[in-house]
Amino acid sequence: MSIEVFQFPHLQHYEPIFEQMREFTLQRNETTPDAIWLLQHEPVFTQGQAGKAEHLLAPGDIPVVQSDRGGQVTYHGPGQLMIYTLCDLKRLNMGIKTFVNHLQQSIIDLLALYGIQGHTQCSAPGVYVDNDKICSIGLRVRRGYTYHGLSLNVSMDLEPFTRINPCGFHQLRMIQIQDFYPTITLPTVIQDLIPILQHRLWRNSHHEK
């Protein structure tokens, strides 16, 4: 099963990438290879479909963009790895719940390489270390095709998260890999993550819906 991995150079503005993902999903068919897009965004707050204005506390000079992903408000910026998963659920033989579980477990597997014990929470999607959030997830499914994906905090300025209620939760603390592994770099994370994702999503032969 083919998968194409694209690494975007430089910082990317959110809205053009958002439009490219939607267009890719609208135009694809059962023969289109799945894709993972890896990139960093210029600073931006994005509101999910269920996003409430009350969770934007003080955005200041950082723009706020409405998205069609699931979830509430979050922040994207330099030093955070965006992992956009453009996948055909039918071809993967997965339901959305299984797909989300595999994405989250991929991040847990990655963190384990760095001696970090990550876990999920029943009350909210994403990956946590203790009660602090290190990776957020927000997806959209159209005609059985997924887009949007994961945002993994690697080595970034976390201050903008204090301007919002991240993912709609009051006083949720956001952390990053650099807190545990000071010399971590994005290229290292990308190199380590790609084979984990490929194994979890495309080489696993016992998917269940």
Positions marked catalytic: 167
Q: Is 73 annotated as a binding residue?
A: yes
Q: Which residues lie across from 67 on neighbouring strands?
A: none
Place of tokens 């847990």: 108
49 is in an annotated binding site: no
Q: Is 69 among the annotated ligand-binding positions?
A: yes
Tokens matching residue 108: 């847990």
Residue 137 known to bind ligand: yes
169: region left, alpha or beta (phi > 0 left; psi from -120 to 50 alpha): beta
Please work out, in degrees rounded to the nearest 5, the angle formed at the alpha carbon of residue 130 by the alpha carbons of 58 and 84: 65
| Residue 156 tokens, joined | 């970034």
Query: Residue 164: helix, strand or coil by DSSP?
Result: strand
Tell me which amino acid residue 118 is.
G
DSSP 69: S
Q: What Cα–Cα distance (Å) separates residue 67 from each residue in 21, 73, 87, 133, 155?
A: 12, 9, 19, 21, 24
Distance CA 174, CA 129 (A): 10
Query: What Å distances lie between residue 147 and 43, 85, 123, CA to CA?
Result: 20, 6, 23
Take residue 49 and report the two structure tokens written for it. 């479909």
76: annotated binding-site residue?
yes
The verdict on whether residue 151 carries a ligand-binding annotation is yes
The answer on whether 136 is annotated among ligand-binding residues is yes
Which residues carry a binding-site annotation? Answer: 69-76, 136-138, 149-151
Which residues carry a binding-site annotation for substrate? Answer: 69-76, 136-138, 149-151
